[in-house]
A and B are shown apart, each in its own frame.
Chain A
Amino acid sequence: QQPVQSPQAVILREGEDAVINCSSSKALYSVHWYRQKHGEAPVFLMILLKGGEQKGHEKISASFNEKKQQSSLYLTASQLSYSGTYFCGPPMMIKAAGNKLTFGGGTRVLVKP
């Protein structure tokens, strides 16, 4: 099953903040976040391994609430370079039948000058 991301798209002005959410109906053991710029391959941003853990990458940070099976990505003081599609990623490899290791549907972010 695919994690659900919201919103599907967001348009920001440089310097504005945004939050992207990722929810799963299945237990999450970890969450990965990736960013894909137009015409390029997805690139790993960060991984959150423990419930409640927050990590950061430049001015992009994320939190992980294991109980709620949710993760949020925070774009703070957005820059033009933050534009792209953000995906929340699959859990760690788990030896479970039917684990499809899918990414969320993606959130398109456009940062305008």
Chain B
Amino acid sequence: DSGVTQTPKHLITATGQRVTLRCSPRSGDLSVYWYQQSLDQGLQFLIQYYNGEERAKGNILERFSAQQFPDLHSELNLSSLELGDSALYFCASSGTSGVQYFGPGTRLTVL
């Protein structure tokens, strides 16, 4: 158990819809990262937050947005969903070492 929690575990929705994925980091970790992993693909970095502020941005689509709240949990919002958005979405957190601890992931299926 990495100490990072993600909800929900599975999400099935239709094209055009909007969903919110939630992540709670390990206790004490200030950084939260979001990754997308399509079937049998690598980890695509989406965005990083540090203590409530955006720190780094990857290949995140304009339809996607994220935020980190004062209690350090983070949410990833995906809107106008397309079939190609179906993937595993991982959240990771890190402390000062930069080592990332991954949550179990949210599997999103867009029908």
User: Which residues of A pack against B, CB within 8 Å?
Assistant: 30, 32, 34, 40-44, 47, 87, 89-93, 99-106
Looking at the complex, which one of A43, A44, A89, A100 makes contact with B56 (CB distance below 8 Å)? A100
Number of B residues, CB within 8 Å of A = 26
CA distance A105 to B101 in the complex (A): 18
Q: Return chain A residues, CB-CB under 8 Å to B58.
A: 100-102
Please, which residues of chain A bring their CB within 8 A of the CB of B100? Answer: 32, 34, 42, 44, 89-90
Chain A residues, Cβ within 8 Å of B31: 93
- Contacts A41-B2, A41-B105 given; indicate if A47 touches B45 (C-beta within 8 A): no
Binding site for A on B (CB under 8 A): 2, 31, 33, 42-45, 48, 50, 55-59, 90, 92, 94, 97-105
Can you report 10 A-B residue pairs in the complex whose CB atoms are below 8 A from each other? Answer: A32-B98, A41-B2, A41-B105, A43-B102, A47-B98, A87-B42, A90-B100, A93-B55, A100-B59, A103-B43
B45–A101 touching, CB < 8 Å: yes
Q: How far is the CA of A32 from the CA of B43 in the complex (A)?
A: 14
